[in-house]
């Protein structure tokens, strides 16, 4: 399998596989319904939506979508709708989950619920974003832009693992992971550089598998071989990174929004670490972003 370089190819791959069933928590907003309709009409998924049936049908009709293509479970209360969407996955009726109009905290609490949620002991939720931009020759796999505020070294090991799993699904046999910092040299006053050096050595010694890891690397070096040459840096990752592990949520969130808002980036995003992929996009994201996120989660499920 050749590496996937465009998000549209993920959707094409899903169409060639057996359809998955998507469970949508409180799916009452136009962008979510538009994205789900696209995925259903292209035979990628069947969809079950929880929420206020009347509002879902009206929003669908206003979007020119036939609401009968969905299975709608009438639950007007946001929290109850989110819990039911999770139960559908837990019971095996659906393969993966998606957030609709409900708040992120409500969605995450339903996933994390100790009795009825989707977590196994020792698991860690982390957010992975896959971005396509016209100025880079491959997809960028970023973590963590939305869930982990200040990931520890142990968290970063799991983040690399989740990103590597997605990279493998995208046909990248041996992905290259850049541990992004402000500089390329280890500086005891900059904890992120210490983590980066440890992660690189862990990968060298087989403690992190299936991926080439290098860091600390500044962003310019991670994406530009010319910058690496100018800085006299020898690296198997420099200028050719697939995976970008960012030091904290502020850095990661600014980076990803810069790519999407200023560099015409297209995105797909999922939460990893639960028993199924969980689509988590911003309520302001477009139909297209949510459609690509459904495709990515379907591919991972």
Check which CATH number belongs to the domain holding 49 and give it: 3.40.50.10950
* CA distance linking residue 167 with residue 161, whole number of Å: 10
Q: pLDDT at position 1, please?
A: 81
On whether residue 179 sits in a domain, the answer given is yes
> Do 173 and 294 sit in the same domain of this protein?
no
Q: pLDDT at position 122, please?
A: 84
On whether residue 267 sits in a domain, the answer given is no
- In tens, the pLDDT along 255-289 reads 999 999 999 999 999 999 999 999 998 767 788 99
> Do 93 and 205 sit in the same domain of this protein?
no
pLDDT tier at 12 (50, 70, 90 boundaries)? very high
> Do 97 and 191 sit in the same domain of this protein?
no
> Do 283 and 238 sit in the same domain of this protein?
no
Residue keyed to tokens 């860690």: 124
**179 forms bridges with which residues in the sheet?**
245
> Do 79 and 95 sit in the same domain of this protein?
yes
Listed range (1-5, 49-53, 171-175, 284-288) with the worst mean pLDDT: 284-288
Mean pLDDT of the chain: 95
- In tens, the pLDDT along 85-106 reads 999 999 999 999 999 999 999 9
* Nearest residue to 97 (alpha-carbon basis) of 30, 25, 18: 25
> Do 177 and 292 sit in the same domain of this protein?
no
Those residues with Cβ within 8 angstroms of residue 42's Cβ, 6 or more apart along the chain or in another chain = 11, 15
> Do 171 and 239 sit in the same domain of this protein?
yes
Q: pLDDT at position 226, please?
A: 96
C-alpha dist (Å) from residue 265 to 90, 197, 201, 251, 291: 34, 30, 32, 17, 15
Q: Tokens at residue 239, please?
A: 């200028």
Tell whether the model's pLDDT for residue 58 goes beyond 90.
Answer: yes
As a whole number of angstroms, the longest Cα–Cα distance in the chain is: 63
* Nearest residue to 142 (alpha-carbon basis) of 67, 242, 239, 235: 242
Those residues with Cβ within 8 angstroms of residue 162's Cβ, 6 or more apart along the chain or in another chain = 126, 128, 143, 272, 273
Residue pair 189/151 in contact (Cβ under 8 Å)? The answer is: no
Q: pLDDT at position 282, please?
A: 76
Tell whether the model's pLDDT for residue 11 goes beyond 70.
Answer: yes
On whether residue 2 sits in a domain, the answer given is no
Q: pLDDT at position 150, please?
A: 97
* CA distance linking residue 301 with residue 18, whole number of Å: 11
On whether residue 269 sits in a domain, the answer given is no
**25 forms bridges with which residues in the sheet?**
99
Residue keyed to tokens 């590597």: 164
> Do 117 and 172 sit in the same domain of this protein?
no
On whether residue 1 sits in a domain, the answer given is no
Residue keyed to tokens 């292209």: 42
* CA distance linking residue 21 with residue 146, whole number of Å: 25
Domain total in the chain: 2
> Do 214 and 228 sit in the same domain of this protein?
yes
Its pTM stands at: 0.95
> Do 89 and 151 sit in the same domain of this protein?
no
Q: Tokens at residue 44, please?
A: 């990628």
Average pLDDT estimate for 148-177: 97
On whether residue 95 sits in a domain, the answer given is yes
- For 4, phi then psi, to 5°, come to -75, 130
Domain of 252? 126-262
* Nearest residue to 156 (alpha-carbon basis) of 132, 173, 181, 131: 181
pLDDT tier at 121 (50, 70, 90 boundaries)? confident
CB neighbourhood size of 206 (10 A)? 7
* CA distance linking residue 35 with residue 100, whole number of Å: 11
């Amino acid at each position: 399998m050749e590496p996937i370089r465009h998000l549209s190819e993920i959707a094409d791959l899903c169409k060639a596989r057996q359809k998955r069933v998507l469970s949508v928590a409180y799916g009452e907003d136009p962008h979510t319904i538009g994205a789900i309709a696209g995925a259903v009409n292209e035979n990628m998924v069947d969809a079950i939506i929880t929420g206020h049936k009347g509002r879902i049908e009206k929003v669908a009709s206003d979007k020119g979508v036939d609401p009968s293509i969905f299975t709608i479970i009438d639950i007007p209360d946001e929290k109850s709708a989110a819990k039911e969407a999770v139960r559908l996955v837990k019971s095996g009726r659906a393969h993966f989950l998606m957030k609709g109009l409900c708040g992120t905290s409500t969605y995450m609490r339903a996933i994390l619920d100790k009795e009825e949620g989707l977590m196994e002991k020792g698991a860690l939720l982390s957010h992975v974003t896959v971005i396509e931009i016209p100025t880079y020759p491959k997809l960028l796999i970023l973590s963590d832009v939305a869930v982990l505020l200040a990931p520890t070294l142990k968290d970063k090991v799991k983040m690399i693992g989740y990103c590597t799993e997605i990279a493998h699904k995208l046909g990248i046999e041996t992905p290259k992971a850049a541990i992004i910092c402000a500089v390329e040299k280890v500086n005891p006053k900059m904890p992120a550089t210490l983590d980066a050096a440890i992660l690189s050595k862990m990968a060298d010694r087989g403690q992190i598998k299936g991926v080439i890891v290098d860091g600390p690397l500044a962003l310019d070096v991670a994406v530009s071989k010319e910058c690496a040459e100018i800085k006299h840096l020898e690296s198997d990752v420099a200028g050719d990174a697939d995976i970008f592990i960012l030091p904290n949520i502020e850095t990661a969130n600014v980076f990803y929004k810069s790519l999407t808002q200023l560099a015409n980036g297209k995105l797909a995003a999922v939460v990893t670490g639960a028993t199924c992929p969980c689509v988590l996009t911003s309520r302001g994201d477009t139909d297209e972003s949510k459609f690509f996120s459904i495709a990515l989660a379907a591919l991972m499920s």
